[in-house]
Each structure stands twice: as C-alpha cells, then as structure tokens.
Structure 1
Amino acid sequence: MLARYKGVEFGGRRGNLIISKFDPSAPEIRSNDHPKPFGDGALAGRDYLGEASWTFELTTNERDEVGALAAAGALVSAWRDPKVRLKPNVTVPLSYMVAGRWRRVYGRPGQITDPVSDVHANLGVGKIVASFRVLDPNFYDDAETKVRLTIVPESSGGIIIPLVTPISTRMNNGQRAGLVENLGDVASPLTVTFHGPARNPKIKAAAGWEVGITGTLAYDQSVTVDARAGTVTRNDGASIPGWLTRATQLSKAVIPAGKSDLTFTAIDSTGTAAVDLSWRNSYSSI
C-alpha cells in the first residue's frame, strides 16, 4: 500500500517511510432503534454511518538516526498542521493506492507519535504510529473529472447548452440535454464554478435538484459552489452563501452512480459565460 497526505508520501517498499501495518476500522453505526413497548426485541430506526479510524504503523527506512528523524519529521509536521486542526467544519483528503489505483478519503489527522530514540532508530529504523479520522464514509477517485460548459448567445435562439466530451449529448425538441457519468457505485457531490459575464446562472438536473446563484457576474468574476464542503466562494475569496437560489439544496447536488441529465442556463448576450462541473467517481468500499 502507498499513501499520501499533504504532499508527504509513505508506504511502498523503497521509500523512507514504510507501512508495516495498516488497520482501517469499520465506520461506527449510529442507530435510533427503540425497544418494543409491548414485547421482545426492538423497533428498527434509521442507521447512519459515523466516523472510522485508519491507523498506520510506520517504520523509517534510513541509515542513521538523523535520517530517521528527518523522514518522520516531514510527516509529523504535515499531520499536526494548525491550518487544518484549528479549523472547524473542514475535512482534508488522505490519498492511497491499492491494486494500482489511487483513491482518497476525507477526514482529519489524529494522533501521531515521534520515532522512538533507541538502538533501532540509531540504525535508521524509527517506529511511528499515525491515525486518521475518516469522517466521510465514501471513497473517491483521487483524480477529478472536470468538464467546461459554454453558453449559447441569446441571438442564436437559446440559453441551454450541451455538455461536451467526455459527455455524450442528444437532441430533444430543439433543446440539447447532456449526460454526465459517475463511474462509481454511490452518489458523488458536485462542484460547480460559474464564470461571468452571466446573470442568474444555474445548473439543473433531470432528477429535480438545482444549483444556482442570483445576481450578475462580471466578465472577470466566478463563483464556486462546493456541495461536499457546503461552501459558496467568489474568486476574490469572499464567502457568499446568500447568493444561492432558494431552490438550491447542496445536500441534493450529487451525481448518482451511472448517467445523469444536466442543463446549464444563464442570461448572457456575449456568449462567453461558462461553467465548470467537477466530481470524483465515488465508491462504497476501499
């Protein structure tokens, strides 16, 4: 197994940090079952997947204690980064490679030990134990799928545009609808970036949900709506959740496994408005 966190890679057979043991615990189950008031057993409620913990036992692979401490120090520094651990409601990716494919989970780094200074560390073999709290129960492709959609000018007779390669399209009563595809087996949250000039840009799904903003974007402005993180950010860094349309529900802005119909609408007489759609194929297992 090979893993990577904030640019620090560990695992494999030839690196300076080798994984000697990997223990991925199952997610906790949060249940609201209730005892039957008149009889044996219980009434089944809803079961929710909670937090899981991934524990890595690592060994430094260096020639001396100095090398061992340096190898461990890079990971410890990344693991304890205050820019992550002091921010609430923020999750970060931990990437891993199994069976030749890179995927990722989202969560927060937990405890990590420094290498023990003993005879083994003196020989370049220090022991480290690091845990990562997995807060999203799904697994995602490390590589992101991204598609840019452009607008049809009003003078051309319409504001609904087709999706493009790698997305297939079809004609329907003079309006072109597109198909996006999630190659995983569970729904994946969508990230939408609207680029101006555009007024009231919006993405709608055949499933019924929408992601849209009210207002006008200048030619040099953009707004990114991240359904997984629950954020709405303008390109100058400002958080503007109040710009979302009333019909927007970020919890529903997902691409289910398989193909989905999406359309993009906006008011733009220049024909230069665009939107970027991005997602990661999502899976129910590692």
Structure 2
Amino acid sequence: MGTALARAWLAAGHPLTVWNRGPARAGVLAAEGAVVAASAAEAVAANRLVVVCLLDDASVAEALDDADLAGKDVVNLVTGTPAQARARAGWAAGRGARYLDGGIMAVPPMIGVPAAGPYVFYSGSSALFEEHAEVLAVPAGPRYVGADPGHAALHDVALLSAMYGMFAGVAHAFALVRAEGAVTPGDLAPLLAGWLTAMTGSIARTADQLESGDYAKDVVSNLAMQVAGRRTLLGTAEEQGVSDELLAPYFRLMERRLALGGGEEDLAGVVDLLRG
C-alpha cells in the first residue's frame, strides 16, 4: 500500500522522500523520482507533511522514535483501533506535531485510479486536513469524519467488519453448493452477487429503525418468521454436510431477541444485544 501511495504522488508531480524498513522496496521508487532516505528520521526531516503507512500502531512508534516531529503534520494511514488513534494523536501533540488519522478503503491496485472509487477516512486536525486536502486527494478521495482522531478508524473497522460478515455468508453459500457437486461455484456466483446487491436495500431501513427506536417500522419479514425459517437453513447445512458455525451465532441472537418479545420487529434489535 505504501508503494502504491508513493507512486500516485510521484505520478502527480509531488516531490517525495521515502523510507522503508525493507530498503529494496524504497529503492524501486528512486527510479521513479523519489528521494530515498537512510532512516525514518531523515525522511521526516525532509518535508512538513509526513505520511505514515506501516504494519501496525507499534511499528509507528518504533519507526518514529528518534524523529523530530516538532512543527510536522503527521498523517497516519496505519489500520488501527479508535483508541490507538486517539493515543497516537496525543503522542504526536506531545512531540509538537499536528495529527490526522486515516482509514484506507481500497486495495493497492485502486490507489491513484479515481474510477475504481478508492477513498480514505480522515479524522483529527481539521486545519491539517484542509491545508493538505489537495495532496491527500491524489491517491484516493478524502473523507473527513470529524475532529475526534478515533473516528476514521471507527468508520474503517465498521465497514471492514460488515465486509467480513458478507464474506462469511458467501463462504457458507459456496460450501453448500460445493458439497452437491452438480451446482458449480460459477453457476452460483452471479446469482449470489445479484442477491446480495438487492439485500443492501435493508441497510438504510435498519439505520432508520435504530435512529427512530421503532424496530417494527416498515418491517418486510418479521423476526418471528425469520427465526422459524432458521430450521430450513440449518437443516440444509446439516444435509449437505456443511458446518453451521458461520450462521448459528447470528440465529442465536435472533432467538434471544424473539424471547424478549421482538417477534414483530425487524432485525435491528440484534444490534442492542451485541452492545450488551
């Protein structure tokens, strides 16, 4: 990801000093116009805007331990937790730097390709964001989500969590047909993609129910009916020799909500159970 970001800025004509824990990776960028620094501290010293894209939060502290951050604008694009982002903002402020945390919603091939739809959540110093918005927009569209440094990570992880939930359902679906043999994954794929796309319409309805507190508002299939239908889904998995471990936990939450009297509701009430 760091290399993809660097190449986008170089292609746009921005002067760039780079450092990488693996020197060979940084060396590749030299041929494309980047100045390669011998250390992270040297790279930081080269410019006021410092963009960090490393493995994790701990690697940020390690890499920048001896760097002089006074007067610098630090943009941290490491995927971390909201608490880590807030702590890192305090760490940066204590060293005299402004701080912006970022959550990249893209994979490397999307970076620098606007048509692919890449974007980055940013939170923290609004002054830093506004001053450098044009530069930050080069690799991916910038989306500022507030002064709280933890909000970019919160948005990032919320979207990634939903993605993995979808991946879990897709894995279960493919396992069901793979066990059959006569229905190929290729047969199922376009049907699955179309169905999941259609089901995204429920997201806005769930958000509206959560905000209004009326979980029975505009219900299409009530919870009681869906809990009753779980037997068919779990029974089919058993018949096909497929583990129910990806589906069963969600159905247990639905059963708990039903037991609390939510039979006429939609699925929004499950959110409350997850929050204890």
Specify if TM > 0.5: no
Normalised TM-score (structure 2): 0.22
The structure richer in strand per residue is 1
Higher RCO (C-alpha 8 Å, min separation 6): 1
Normalised TM-score (structure 1): 0.21
The structure richer in helix per residue is 2
